[in-house]
Structure 1
Amino acid sequence: MKTIAGLVGLTAITLTLSPAVAHAQDANCYDTTAPLTVEEQRLDDTLVTGGPAVGPSLVKLAGFDGRVTDFTSRLCRQIVPKQAQQFVEREGNALWKAAVARAQSTTPVTHDAYDDRPLYWARLQLSSALRQWKPKFAMAPDDRAKLIQRFDWASRGLSDSAFPSRPGVRRIAVTGFDPFQLTGVNVRRANPAGAAALQLDGREISTPDGKVVLQAAVLPVLWGGFDEGVVEQFYGSALRQKPDAFVTISQGRPGRFDVERWAARWRGGFADNNNVGSFGSVPNAAGWPQPGHEFIETSLPFQKMIDAGTGPFAVNYNRAFCEWVVVGSQQSCRTDNPTPGRVAASGGGGDYLSNESMYRANRLRIGYGATNVLGGHLHTPVLGQPADPAALTDPAFEKQRRDIADQVKALVSVV
């Protein structure tokens, strides 16, 4: 694997997270000159009109600002490593549960319940605090990285992935994604796949074939996070619980859903949320069974999903794939079957992290010999943005996200 955009790109920046952090800084608890990731720096991005920063504004709209204030204050009171580890995992899990509870609230909430962005930006506020925290004990860079990962994974639903024990109820694990391509006015972007995951986590759905219970998580749009094994961690836990199926979900093409036939063992180099690119074969995640298939075919009941008549968007079975004729220079793209012995270049879902989520999850399924588990990928329609570049939301934007997420729920229930 060749990394083509360098390292994550930590840059020194002063970031005001909340009044609690400002107070803690006075107490010498935070070093605001400590470098943050490119992704975390976008917390200071503003609308092109010069309005307030998008991320913190969305966190406040969702009512998560008090949680951020509390976290940044209490972090300063952690005095031993084990206590800090327990604290950050507990708080990450609590943030995830709060986001799910808000998404699935049966009573009206002050801001659109289907908005996935507040969880994303609140997570970045708290990871920024962890990165700039000055603990009262010695902490090596690797230890800080592990602490941030512990928080991050918990805040994505990985610490809350146990299926309830209910005889006769089918089990399905699903993942969505964070927002991505957050440049300029695009910093307002949401991801309907993440919104769908929040709507589905812990749900029990009644279907003509019986009840289905779901566990969900939201994946990072980061090559490094995938290298660390975030996909395997979630789906490995799910596979140990003997699920009936799993569905990786991401945002795809305008105007339609795609059930992808092929996942490819290849990264095409496109930059992630930290402006890092990666090019080459999908690497292994340490500690998991991972056979070396170049392509993995979906085992989802694609025709049943198409015939279910969900709406309002069309559902397509995407047979496309590309393979390298000469690796790195010449591809053959078709809709039949891959050529034995050739190196994969892209699946139906491309060569970015959505394709890789399908590949990694299904590679793990095959590695565990779970051939009775259905597995594959669903691409959602592309979600637009609020029409006014100064607006955080508008009714048309909210309706489109709701329509997409509700149709994901209907399609997953068919699986």
Structure 2
Amino acid sequence: MDGNVYYDEDAGQGAGGQADWIVVAGSMPTVIWQPAVQHFPQPGNGTDAAEQTVEEARVDEKIPQEILSRGGMGDAQGWQAELSKALDGAQTLSDAERAMAFLGGRLWQRAVDRAQGRTTSHSDSDLPVTDDRPLYWTRLTLARALRAWCARSPLDEADRQRVLLAFERASRGIGRTQSQASPPPQEGLRAVITGFDPFQLDRGIDHINDDLRHSNPAGCLALALDGTTLDTDAGPAHITTMMFPLRWHAFAQGIVEHALTPYFQPGPHRVDLFMTISQGRLNQFDVEHTNGAWRGVGWDNLNQRAPGPVPIPPGVPTVHPQPQWTTTTLPASLLADQPAAPFPVYHHTGVTEIPADSDKPAERKDGPTPNSLAREGGGGDYLSNEIGYRATLLRDACRLRVPGGHLHTPKLLLAPDNQDPATGHITDPVLERYRDAVLAQARALLTTALGTLAAR
């Protein structure tokens, strides 16, 4: 596989259960995998730690299991049986990749259908359809089962990564421009919106805010909007969304650039607006003006850190030399002027830099000074800043002259009497009302931003 793999670095390591394999030799050797006995690990059955990542291992905890049982995504064991059946019929690496891309796509579409009210509810599936967590934990359940299959296969590490990546991408809504499953609309505007997985699960950025119950409104919004059409002042706007992992390594290997390039380069899928979205501060939206090329010391969902300059992978469109800063082209002032309903919206211009004439960080309320080094963009120094930086840098590299940039939503809140994850509930009326309000206002802000295209 080429050097632009962007699945997490622990993928495919370790050895699982034993199986008998048939290898057919020829002038172009083809591996046919057909284990004499197929066994896929089920959640909680003692999966070898070598066959799962830190992130996947959390699936066995009580809270994720309750989310899975109440989430309306379908029985996790049923999804694993479907995965097993799909791999039983795979005779080549390409077969396995196609099977996992198809399964991942079905998982993503099931989550979108659920979020948009198109699935049949069950008596034990009582979480609101706006909840993003059932997709997150179902994806990890299947990724772990697939990783165990890869460990028992005759595939080398690079080919294991290919199979894992095929599922990972498709289950996040990434890569659909390469198939007929997502034809471009014939009329109207086009926008691409990105969301994120839940984070700060068992090790918060500050080691305090960890909670396996966390949801991410950016992921909720991605599921609620994918495939929809918004009525704007500039006409109908067709929305495509995707969701990204909270993993430094995935970003370093180009997941953002590979996902967005088909929408930024000239062609039938090129968009008229893009917006990267993540969860931010309490009780406010922030349109981030400036993004910085610097990573802080925050922990990701693999409990890893990667402080230093934002790395740009080889083989993707970029700008040379790499700039320290990029800026939004969203109509930030207009969005900040919208009525606060119910949350205020700020055009956030502050950054932290190392000035050209100093070696110490300094906060700047009005943006960076000339020739300074980035230490925090408007969105900080975590992956929310980084996706804003990567997307706007790619915009410039592709010469995409459209509104685009990063929006921080308010942070979701649980009820005051439901703060302890050890004794609390996985949802409550305060969280659900708060999430609904955030999603409604985010949708309104996106509609407003798209409406400005009428004057272009």
TM-score (norm 2): 0.80
Change (3 A) 1:329 1:183: farther
Cα distance in structure 2, aligned partners of 1:30 and 1:189: 28
Change (3 A) 1:148 1:376: same
Select 2:247's aligned residue among 214, 222, 243: 222
1:198 aligns with 2:223: yes
In the alignment, what sits opposite 1:188? 213
Cα distance in structure 1, aligned partners of 2:136 and 2:384: 18
Select 2:134's aligned residue among 114, 118, 124: 118
1:289 aligns with 2:309: no
Cα distance in structure 1, aligned partners of 2:75 and 2:112: 12
Tell me by how many angstroms 1:53 deviates.
3.1
In the alignment, what sits opposite 1:157? 173
Cα distance in structure 1, aligned partners of 2:290 and 2:57: 35
SS of residue paired to 1:53: helix
1:176 aligns with 2:195: yes
Deviates more, 1:125-134 or 1:306-315: 306-315
Show CA shifts across 1:339-376 (max 9, x none): 22221111110000000000000100101111x21111
Paired letter, 2:227: G
In the alignment, what sits opposite 2:87? 75
Tell me by how many angstroms 1:28 deviates.
4.4
Whether the 8 Å CA contact 1:173–1:247 is kept in 2: the answer is yes
Number of aligned residue pairs: give it: 395
Show CA shifts across 1:130-179 (max 9, x none): 11115885201221122111110111001335463232x11111101000
Show CA shifts across 1:211-265 (max 9, x none): 1111100011001111121111221111132211100000000000000010000
Select 1:236's aligned residue among 251, 261, 268: 261
Select 1:256's aligned residue among 281, 284, 287: 284
Cα distance in structure 1, aligned partners of 2:168 and 2:118: 27
Tell me by how many angstroms 1:183 deviates.
1.3
Whether the 8 Å CA contact 2:51–2:151 is kept in 1: the answer is no
Select 2:402's aligned residue among 331, 352, 373: 373
Show CA shifts across 1:99-141 (max 9, x none): 1111112577443110101111111011101111158852012
Whether the 8 Å CA contact 1:28–1:134 is kept in 2: the answer is no
Select 1:97's aligned residue among 91, 109, 128: 109
Select 2:387's aligned residue among 336, 340, 357: 357
1:36 aligns with 2:70: no
Tell me by how many angstroms 1:320 deviates.
0.5
Change (3 A) 1:333 1:113: same
For structure 2, list consecutive stretches of 5 or more residues without a partner in the other structure: 1-7, 17-33, 42-46, 204-209, 450-456
Cα distance in structure 1, aligned partners of 2:271 and 2:100: 29
Tell me by how many angstroms 1:287 deviates.
1.4
Change (3 A) 1:382 1:136: closer
Paired letter, 1:99: A
In the alignment, what sits opposite 2:339? 309
Deviates more, 1:125-134 or 1:86-95: 125-134
Paired letter, 2:318: Q
Whether the 8 Å CA contact 1:10–1:37 is kept in 2: the answer is no
Whether the 8 Å CA contact 2:291–2:325 is kept in 1: the answer is yes
SS of residue paired to 1:336: coil
Change (3 A) 1:41 1:26: farther
Tell me by how many angstroms 1:46 deviates.
2.3
Provide the alpha-carbon RMSD of the alignment: 2.9
Whether the 8 Å CA contact 2:256–2:390 is kept in 1: the answer is yes
Tell me by how many angstroms 1:73 deviates.
4.2
Tell me by how many angstroms 1:399 deviates.
1.6
Tell me by how many angstroms 1:70 deviates.
1.9
Show CA shifts across 1:69-89 (max 9, x none): 322443344332221111001
Alignment of 1:50-89 (within 5 A): 53-54=65-66, 56-59=68-71, 61-65=72-76, 66-89=78-101
Change (3 A) 1:108 1:396: farther
Tell me by how many angstroms 1:68 deviates.
3.6
Paired letter, 1:42: R
TM-score (norm 1): 0.87
In the alignment, what sits opposite 1:323? 353
SS of residue paired to 1:248: strand
Select 2:233's aligned residue among 179, 185, 208: 208
Whether the 8 Å CA contact 1:188–1:385 is kept in 2: the answer is no
Cα distance in structure 2, aligned partners of 1:10 and 1:38: 13
In the alignment, what sits opposite 1:335? 365
SS of residue paired to 2:237: strand
Change (3 A) 1:97 1:189: same
Cα distance in structure 2, aligned partners of 1:39 and 1:282: 23
Change (3 A) 1:102 1:26: farther
